[in-house]
Structure 1
Amino acid sequence: MSPTAAVTSSRQGSVVPYAPICGPDVWYGQQQCQQQEQWVHTLTAAQVQELEAAVVAVQQRLQLRTHGNYITGLMRLRDPAQFPLPLLSPVLAAMKQELTAGRGFYLIKGLPVEHWSVEQVMVAYWGIGVHLGVAIPQNQKGHLIGHVKGVGVDPLCQNPATRIYMTRAAQPWHVDSCDIVGLLCLQPAKSGGQSSWASSSAIYNELLTASPEAVAALAGSWYLDRKGELPPGKLPYFVMPVLHFHQGFLTVSFHDSYYQAAAARFPAQVPPLTPTQQAALALFNEAANKDDVRLDYWLEPGDMQFVNNHNVVHMRSQFEDWEEPSKKRHLLRLQLVVPGLRPLPAAAFEALWGPLAADDRCVQQLAALADAGDPEQQQPAAAHEDASRRHAEQAAAAAGDVAVPSAGGGAVSAALAARFGGSGMGCIPLDAELGNKLRD
């Protein structure tokens, strides 16, 4: 069907290609500013106390340990029943519904990051994530919680191979490579660093009206740069559409700057963007940047934002950071998959997601790989000396010093191990590291 053939609007689950979309995922920022009570929840004192008690229980029951820059054992917390929150669970259930079948974004405020230890904060954040989905490794070291923090390398992102999240440069509109991404603010910037969200479905509707040709171009083939994170046997770039019409869903996978980087870094293999593609990118950004379309928000310490990457794009403005290391802008990132959330066109998403593009998101194989990276998962309680030695080996593996064999689950697990490097599965760093490349 051509981009101009259909005019009747349809909802997610029954989307007609190139027809307008209606439903709760079509929202406008100007309107949402007046409805914050529907997508913002501030933790009550009782809910904070409940979280703190759940954190202490996990620390004791799982005997969490810190080795250098890593927490070990936390990945064994996988089931919401292991992190009971009677007061907060109804809020988290409503949030998950809003994320998966509503607007696609939600904000929780009031986690006491200024008063808790880093380990306490991470356990609470991880536990909340368990109520929403399954955490996936964010890089080839297997980091399950990522640190979004300027580390002083290429601060204005002048090198196309630099990961923007490690700089203070503006991060353009994009999505992350997961179903739901969470960002927890530990410390804001000295100035700048504003977060913005926009409905991908609203942007799509805007483009249908403004330029059906741009919609057709966005549904075509686009080359993306892997930014140096190269699975075995893969090229340093790949091809993936921006718009995906699949089994009644419109999924938007927008990675601005990755298209330009692929053409700039590999001119012999990757064709330059065509004038039609350049115009389509400009129109997408123009629509997302409209005052009535985008929703701007200043994250404060203790804020946790969660976004559905399939129907919400997000960005961050350039910022000025503090000189003192303890005051530098610092966010924690969770990347979650939700089994059965929506079917993804595996032929396209496999290039970026690997086997996780399957409907079940391969959560059993992910658990097997995490177990293989957990020194205590299959250790008797009395074998503390051997467990300690294995913890040290695991921490060294996470730092890239030694290789730990991957394990578990046949061809799919082998593919996951290859996608994520096969070592350091289940590592949770306490702070950012140079060379810690996270997928956007």
Structure 2
Amino acid sequence: MEEKEEFENSSEDSTEDSSEDEFSWSETTFGDGWNGEDMAQHPERWIYEITNEDSNDIENCINGIRESKTNFDQLEIHRIARCDITLGKFGEKLIEMRNDIRRGIGFRLIRGIQIEKYSRFEICVAYWCIGLYLGEAISQNGMGHLLGHIYDLGADHTKPETRIYRTKYKQRFHTDGGDMVGLLCLMQSKSGGESKLCSTITIYREMMKRRPDLVEELKKPLFYDRKGEVPVGKDPFFQRAVFSNQNGVFMARIAPTFIEAAPKRFPDRIPPLSAKLVEAIAMFEALAMEFCLDMDFLPGDIQLVNNHTLTHARGTYEDYDEPKRKRHLLRLWINESFDNPSKGILTAKTRLCVPLYPE
């Protein structure tokens, strides 16, 4: 059965603009590619352990908002702005991490947020504030969720409109919306659900060595299905290349099942995938598996991933029977640059919000 990974518009308009800028590929700047096996041997490169001082900064931030806002428990979290908060020295560390995620290896794992001492509302406030130091949160679905819940709601994964984060099934390698995706672990699964990350720079270079002809297939604009979440005045699909150079900098965005679904759902408007394109996507996925880093989340972990230079996947998982013990992650889609015009997925019915629980 076909699984569907998460991928949405990183911009309502820019996703449909598959043209490259005036830079040629010979002038393209690449960041740091890496091998998952090497990364696994050097966790100090990507794991940051929360200190007591960091924990105090987080608690002081929550208390500062409580003292400055009336009716704290009824506060609309997405109304909290960067100018309303401070995270002290921890905030400075977050800015350093953001810069490294942008220009370096492309990801970090922050370990040890003390979520057990806070209410659900306080956790969401703290996570939102951490996100404000990284950039601007954008809408993740047609409902306008600025903070998403990765939780098995029992949705039918065989339906084309189903978003896989509402199920327990695996996700193929893909990229999310926004410049960066953040995942805060509230609860682990009973088993499975491991996270896989791979450098798309490494994938690109390996494809160039082995099959440069297939690289050319992924530089062409491809059709993507919008999963029924269609902005006003837009088609139910858009075009984008997998490999591109934006302002002279390498970027890769992919969602295989969204690419595969587009010609099936709109055969009168979109041609079928060529055999060579199918081969190119298969090679991309095979290389991602070959060079990926596996990691498991602990409660209180935050994974931050650059969507332009990394692709990620998730294994199928088994949950506990009790709803409160089921695997639960909080997700942020973040535009790291505030001059990015994207606001994420916006339809005629979208109302921006920060839900405290899965829905």
TM-score by length of 1: 0.73
Question: 2 CA distance for matches of 1:77 and 1:134?
Answer: 11
Question: 1 CA distance for matches of 2:282 and 2:75?
Answer: 45
CA contact (8 A) 1:64 1:73 kept: no
Match of 1:17 among 25, 28, 33: 25
Secondary structure of 1:126's counterpart equals helix
Q: Which moved more, 1:84-93 or 1:255-264?
A: 84-93
**1:274-293 alignment to 2 at 5 Å?**
274-290=274-290, 293=291
**Highest CA radius of gyration, 1 or 2?**
1
Match of 1:362 among 341, 344, 347: 341
Q: In the alignment, what sits opposite 1:73?
A: 76
CA contact (8 A) 2:61 2:86 kept: yes
Secondary structure of 1:429's counterpart equals coil
Q: Which structure 1 residue ranges, 5 or more long, are not aligned?
A: 1-12, 341-359, 367-415, 434-440
Match of 1:33 among 30, 40, 43: 40
Q: Which moved more, 1:267-276 or 1:165-174?
A: 267-276
Distance 1:20 1:178, change over 3 A: closer
Question: How far off its partner does 1:162 sit?
Answer: 1.4
TM-score by length of 2: 0.88
Question: 1 CA distance for matches of 2:250 and 2:144?
Answer: 30
Distance 1:260 1:362, change over 3 A: closer
The reply on whether 1:294 has 2:296 as its aligned counterpart is no
Q: Which structure 2 residue ranges, 5 or more long, are not aligned?
A: 1-20
The reply on whether 1:184 has 2:184 as its aligned counterpart is yes
CA contact (8 A) 2:184 2:303 kept: yes
Question: How far off its partner does 1:109 sit?
Answer: 0.8
Secondary structure of 1:143's counterpart equals coil
Distance 1:303 1:211, change over 3 A: same
Q: In the alignment, what sits opposite 2:150?
A: 148
Question: What is the one-letter code of the residue matched to 1:287?
Answer: L
Q: CA RMSD in A?
A: 2.3
Q: In the alignment, what sits opposite 2:252?
A: 252
Give deviations 1:131-181, integer Å, cap 9, x for gaps: 110111222322211111110111xx2223211111111011111110111
Q: In the alignment, what sits opposite 1:132?
A: 134
CA contact (8 A) 1:48 1:111 kept: yes
CA contact (8 A) 1:180 1:306 kept: yes
CA contact (8 A) 1:185 1:330 kept: yes
Match of 2:312 among 311, 314, 322: 314
Secondary structure of 1:165's counterpart equals helix
**1:182-261 alignment to 2 at 5 Å?**
182-261=182-261
Question: 2 CA distance for matches of 1:141 and 1:320?
Answer: 27
Question: What is the one-letter code of the residue matched to 1:149?
Answer: Y
CA contact (8 A) 2:28 2:249 kept: no
Distance 1:166 1:100, change over 3 A: same
Q: In the alignment, what sits opposite 2:358?
A: 432
Question: 1 CA distance for matches of 2:38 and 2:22?
Answer: 25
The reply on whether 1:323 has 2:321 as its aligned counterpart is yes
Question: What is the one-letter code of the residue matched to 2:175?
Answer: V
Question: What is the one-letter code of the residue matched to 1:362?
Answer: P
CA contact (8 A) 1:251 1:311 kept: yes
CA contact (8 A) 1:15 1:250 kept: no
Question: 2 CA distance for matches of 1:282 and 1:423?
Answer: 35
